[in-house]
Structure 1
């Protein structure tokens, strides 16, 4: 069997929709002999998933010291064994065909991201306003967009070959935007593609990390953005590329 490892970090307060994430994962149809395994890492040791997620041999749940999503995802990555990895936030919902499209795309390129639909509290959805066209991503496109503060994709849709993510050190040790930093690092060393068909419902709700005012303090926001930019530029300058 071939495996795609789903990587999720969950914190106390951000776990209320994780059952919907699981149900959307169960409904995924995968090609051929592919299967999924879900690696859930609690950011803390409160046991928040107890009684929510069922006993399923495809789910691996661990916990650790609270250190935010980047650390949680990287700990989950260390346990993952699949050829491919895919990010799934604990409050998002996979749309039909999402993993199948990732698997097919990653046969051609080492990483990909996809469109998503915002899911609003009233149940309505809306598309991303700046989605690029589907197909190969022009080298440096997303780096330029981050520099100009107009990133056109959600890094929460990132999928890649696991050895590439390991070689990049997993998710950048930041208090946020760790997915953007990983996306920029992958773009710096390897070709990728954008999948125009939406892969997730990106849930908007008051308890999400990015809804808190303190998350957007200007100095810290700028530092997070600059950290990802500097790493991507350094990789380009040293000339390292994914074989």
Structure 2
């Protein structure tokens, strides 16, 4: 007896799902881009063999994503979607699972480590002076004990993202900030980061990072940033092994 062939998975896509996918394929196949007009709702319905209601719902989804818009005297046209805006709508830490929060927190760490070359390429004297003001204000209010303060972290690292001159990165940083705050507060709830024992014995302060940005190299800055964030990396990796 020949072995039985496996059953193919049942297609669970709704008709609206399929039309949405087909519309996106149509845009790509015809090399349509932002500003280009697209066929009318009735034309889509006729060619796809579905009702206008189905097409209307599929188009509404694309409109919600910012892929299409209606223009007076022109009808519907394609537009460049604001990808960060779509993330912003759902980026609420209280609505995200633990695994997703952990992944987003790790993504923030990856970005911090990866932008060193852009900082050295784009930094200006004015921006270094602005960072200096941030660090001086931090030092003026420091008790000499606390190494980590969420407000200070946000001010200093937020400025670094601005120096990168990457608009998407800056907006993404702002989007990840609530997640960073949420995980940071959970992470420090039952432990004091000031008591953390650093592998090289010393904590890299914002002052040290600024001095490195002034006279160092992308590589030395990256190493300094890694030491600055060491407690977070250590916490992530230890929890990942559990």
TM superposition score normalised by structure 1: 0.25
Structure whose CA Rg is larger: 2
More helix by share: 2
Which one scores higher on RCO, CA 8 angstroms, separation ≥ 6?
1
More strand by share: 1
